[in-house]
Structure 1
Amino acid sequence: MAGRNLYCDRRGVSPVIGVVLMLSITVLLAGTVGGVVLTASSDLNQRTPVVARSTGQFVTGPSGGCGANTVAIRHAGGDPVPADELEVTVALPDSDARIVDLPVSGTALSASNTDDPDNVVYDYCVGGVIANGGQQWSAGRAITLQLNAGGGTVEPGDTIDVRVVHAPSNSVLAAVGLTARR
């Protein structure tokens, strides 16, 4: 019988190890979910302005200011948005561009606007609230730009899509589909 006392009963070890592992997994998952929730909640404080309406105009022939192929997106109602919080995307039938680092000091785009490999936007003619140091894009004010006739000519009847994006939240404030007319 003395040998029987030396024998260790290991049947009680498996449930204890199982409980410890389950608790470890639960704590690890709770920490991961908590970290994700706390990180996401900081983004919730970013308020996105609301532009209730916007209108657009695209003129292929000569027009005031920039000349031919001029796009104007007019804020027709909603919250005012500072020009330094705006980006503009332009999608033509065969190419597209994104204009960033607004406003510009004069009427020429900054060198950082390199996301335009097809040279869609004419570099030296932006206007409205995104030019000359910028203003707020508010009701009645427009964003204007000129498409580059040499880098993606737009013919009458062609459709382009222009989006005004709130850069801090990456939300689309205005999306306008325009048809070229003469």
Structure 2
Amino acid sequence: MKANRKFSKDEEAVSPVIGVILMVAITVILAAVIAAFVFNMGGGLKEAPPTVSITAVSNSATTGPDVVIKHVGGEALIGSDWKFSVVPEGNSSLYVTTASDDDFEVGLQLVITDKTTDTVATSWGDTWQYAGDGDLLGTGKYSVKVVHIPSNSMVLDTVVEVR
């Protein structure tokens, strides 16, 4: 009979031990979930960049320096979702953000010239103003960048030699 009493006394201790183990497990899982949110380990919900093919070339057919940015394939860049910069190589980027109705579609192009008005002409009839000195200074190398704003992705980053 004494043997049976030992088991019944020990059975009461099983329940608190399992309860403590479950509480520790719940605490660890909760801490991991909170840490994932705090440290943004769950991954960002950033928009994927569009698949585009854009080129930048010097237009040797003109008398003054100019750079032509052409959309040659892929998805359209939706207006106000993209910006571009054309500056002498080594200078800080100076971006022009487009208007909401200025989609950059296949076949369209931007022409950045040596005009003193700091304007950019588009093949669809718009012109934009640079916020600062956007003129091409003459022959030399120019850094040309096009950025998709929602995904903060560079869709073109090249250097063009203007002659």
TM-score normalised according to structure 1 size: 0.53
Q: Deviations over 1:118-170 (max 9, x none)?
A: xxxxxxxxxxxxxxx743211110123345779586343x2112011101111
Amino acid at match of 1:180: V
Which of the residues 83, 89, 95 maps onto 1:93?
89
Residue 174 of structure 1: how far off its partner (Å): 2.0
Secondary structure at 2:151 match in 1 = coil
Report the count of equivalent residues.
Answer: 127
**Is 1:31 equivalent to 2:28 in the alignment?**
no
Residue 22 of structure 1: how far off its partner (Å): 8.6
Partner of 1:58: 58
Partner of 2:159: 177
Secondary structure at 1:72 match in 2 = strand
Percent identical residues = 16
CA contact (8 A) 2:87 2:136 kept: no
Amino acid at match of 1:30: V
In structure 1, list runs of 5 or more residues that go unmatched: 1-18, 104-132
Larger Rg: 2
Residue 175 of structure 1: how far off its partner (Å): 2.6
Residue 177 of structure 1: how far off its partner (Å): 1.9
Give matches, 1:85-124, under 5 Å.
85-103=81-99
In structure 2, list runs of 5 or more residues that go unmatched: 1-20, 119-132
Question: 1:147 and 1:86, CA in 2 relative to 1: closer, same or farther beyond 3 A?
Answer: farther
Residue 51 of structure 1: how far off its partner (Å): 0.8
Give the aligned CA root-mean-square deviation in angstroms. 3.6
Which of the residues 74, 80, 83 maps onto 2:79?
83
